[in-house]
Amino acid sequence: AVEVTLSGRTRVFTVSNQKGGVGKTTTAVNISAALASLGAKVLVIDLDPQGNASTALGVPHNADTASIYDVLIDEFPLSDIIQTSPESPNLLCAPSTIHLAGAEIELVSQVAREHRLRGALRDYLADEGNHLDFVIIDCPPSLGLLTINAFTAADEVLIPIQCEYYALEGLSQLLGSVQMIQKHLNPALHVSTILLTMYDGRTRLAQQVADEVREHFSDEVLRTVIPRSVRVSEAPSFGQTVIAYDGHSAGAIAYREAAVEIVGRDTTMKED
Ligand code: ADP
Ligand code: MG
């Protein structure tokens, strides 16, 4: 087994990209499951009303399930809504339900509307029994109040980039949003990690996109690249991450390698 040393601090990531279908949710759940398999205690916060992360983690999230909506709008403590994924006792999920679709509007009139998630997480971690090594927040594609709550709760932004045409489109907009949040709401926020995904080594285009991203973001891009793989895409329909679904597949191996890299390159530690 791979050995990793955890910092003892809680690292909070938001997985963001203002494009849909680029692998945000896939990356959020599989990196989380991979980190959990390395011995880290991980909480996935599903902030997308679609609830795909909750589904992939095998966590119930029907309309009656207590969810992140109740935390953001009705100030439920996180401990009231967190479930454990059947995959691992180390893998927790704050599920999303369909109600979250209304939260974007409902938050507008709330006090501290940009900081709701940060406050809930701080309260959760203040309880001695609740240590977490990683919090991974899965965001919807839009820059609304849900995504802003993720940006204020996180220190690190993880950007998955699809190795395809137009991969870099929207990236400067995302970086602009991060800068704006840094300036006005959360000075600690920074893009720490870029993960190239859906990589198809047979195409020259994939290689070109990878080279271009590495040229622009040499410090942020992980060495590990996630291959395009059917096993990765079919895992969620079994309510599983690829780590549990087919741990020996190329996708599972790549996500575990990426997780090891993430543990080893703690950019926030320098600030302590
Ligand atoms: P987002 O959350 O950004 O909208 P998803 O994670 O839902 O994107 O991914 C979009 C689609 O791409 C999904 O159908 C998913 O199964 C598929 N996908 C993601 N990563 C891979 C991969 N490495 N190989 C094959 N399919 C993938
Ligand atoms: Mg998604």
pLDDT (tens digit, 9 = 90+) per residue, 96-107? 999 999 999 999
* DSSP characters over 201-265: TT-HHHHHHHHHHHHH-TTTB-S--PBP-HHHHHGGGGT--HHHH-TTSHHHHHHHHHHHHHHH-
Alpha-carbon distances of 171 from 16, 51, 139, 159, 229, rounded to whole Å:
10, 24, 15, 9, 24
Q: What is the DSSP letter of 98?
A: T
ipTM: 0.99
What residue numbers bound the domain in which 248 lies? 11-264
Q: Is residue 102 part of a domain?
A: yes
Q: Is residue 221 part of a domain?
A: yes
Q: Is residue 239 part of a domain?
A: yes
Ligand 1 lined by 226 (C-beta under 6 Å) = yes
Q: What is the pLDDT of residues 192-236, one digit of tens each?
A: 999 999 999 889 999 999 999 999 999 999 999 999 999 999 999
Ligand 1 lined by 252 (C-beta under 6 Å) = no
Q: Is residue 271 part of a domain?
A: no
Alpha-carbon distances of 231 from 11, 85, 249, rounded to whole Å:
28, 20, 7
Q: Which residues of the chain have pLDDT under 50?
A: 269-272
Ligand 1 lined by 25 (C-beta under 6 Å) = yes
| End-to-end C-alpha distance for the chain, whole angstroms | 30
Ligand 1 lined by 162 (C-beta under 6 Å) = no
How far apart are the C-alpha atoms of 267 and 79, rounded to whole Å?
28
Per the prediction, the chain carries an average pLDDT of 94
CATH of the domain at 115: 3.40.50.300
> Ligand 1 centre from 53 Cα, in Å?
11
Q: Is residue 1 part of a domain?
A: no
Q: Is residue 6 part of a domain?
A: no
Q: What is the pLDDT of residues 68-86, one digit of tens each?
A: 999 999 999 999 999 999 9
Best residue among 25, 26, 44 to mutate for probing ligand 1's pocket (most ligand atoms within 8 Å of CB) is 26
Structural domains of the chain, count: 1
